[in-house]
Amino acid sequence: MRENPLVLHVLGARPNFPKAAPVVRALDSLGIRQGIVHTGQHYDALMSDVFFADLGLPEPVANLGVGSGTHAKQTAALLVGLEEVVEEHAPDLVMVYGDVNSTLAAILVCAKLGVPTAHVEAGLRSFDRSMPEEVNRIVTDSLSDLLFATSPDALSYLAAEGVDPRRVHLVGNPMIDSLYTALPKLDPAPVVGRLGLPARYAVATLHRPANVDSPEAARELVDAVLAVAEQIPLVIPIHPRGRTRLAEAGLVSSESVLVVDPLGYVDFLSLVRGASLVVTDSGGVQEESTILGVPCLTVRPNTERPITVTHGTNRLVTPASLPAAAAKALADGAAIPAEELPVLWDGQAGPRIARVVSAWLKGDNLAPAAHASVQP
């Protein structure tokens, strides 16, 4: 290992940024040289650029601007662009986050070039391989040199897949670190006022392929969402990938539904903090609502984050059951999370990850997940 090793962080989509920010800060505090590679998988300013400002991330050393496209076309462009960046910068470690195509491409490039990698948010499984994200998770975890798990269930899944426990470290959830850091700034009033919302409202985020890619699924989902809007005014920041399909299925702004562009990190979480209910198919929102104590209905048959159901405020629903589930959640009032939050969701995941990375860069022997790495 070089005397002044370099760590590159590959970020490409909105969920990556709040996961990476605490790690970048913690590594910086240890004096470790770093760079961010922005692949541009999410290329809209409201889906990426605003997150750099909201989360205090440094300017990227490279921006590939790959944009959207089919999974094959996007992944191919990512492979070509990332290979050039990795060869140019010659990092000692490449860190990837979550389960997006940028993560998959970076892992494949580094595996071919012999560059060590670390996966933050390793071991999550929905056991649904029809989800592109599930395929990305499995491939990424099988090739990573360091695997950072956010919850204990991930350890058992990785063990069942034969992953060497010496590579795995239970560190907590860095996305929750970002949430705790932002908490003093999460004031619903400004964004509620700007959007003209009433005091009592619900928020929805919907973008999963299974929900929006086919006209039939999109129509079923929109009908269910409109039924929820009959119970409470609903604001929906629309992800670009589902905007046209949902509009074609009948989702337009009305007296009870407000469709808006994607919001920045602070604005969106402020909106969620003040909501009476969240309807989503996003993974991260399930986690954030657990901490914020907002009832969350996840329109999916499964979740790779079951800990949000057992410890938090989350419930899995189908489009058909969504209106009744919303009525119950609204009648029950504010959700109360379990007395104990998930293990190590304490705002210190970033420093834990940084300590492991620092030790690894120095060539120190690392304790397996079930031992030293679970300590604060």
- Under DSSP, the state recorded for 33 is E
From 207, 239, 311, 371, the catalytic residue: 207
Q: Catalytic site residue 207?
A: yes
The answer to whether the beta carbons of residues 274 and 188 sit under 8 Å apart is: yes
The answer to whether the beta carbons of residues 283 and 305 sit under 8 Å apart is: yes
* Rg, C-alpha atoms of the chain: 20
Would residue 221 be called left, alpha or beta, if left means φ above 0 and alpha means ψ between -120 and 50 degrees?
Answer: alpha
Q: Residue 280's CB: how many other CB atoms inside 10 A?
A: 23
Residue ranges in 129-275 assigned as alpha helix (H): 132-143, 152-160, 174-182, 188-195, 209-212, 215-229, 240-248, 265-273
Q: Are strands 277-280 and 257-260 parallel, antiparallel or unpaired?
A: unpaired
Q: Which residue has the tokens 């299974």?
A: 210
Torsion of CA 11, 15, 17, 22, to 10 degrees: -120
All residues at 6 or more sequence positions from 118 whose CB lies less than 8 Å from its CB, including other chains: 93, 94, 95, 96, 144, 145, 146, 147, 148, 357
Output the six-digit token pair for 332: 């029950």
Output the six-digit token pair for 375: 């300590």
**175 closest CA partner among 151, 157, 191:** 151
All residues at 6 or more sequence positions from 245 whose CB lies less than 8 Å from its CB, including other chains: 212, 213, 215, 218
Give the residue numbers marked as catalytic. 207
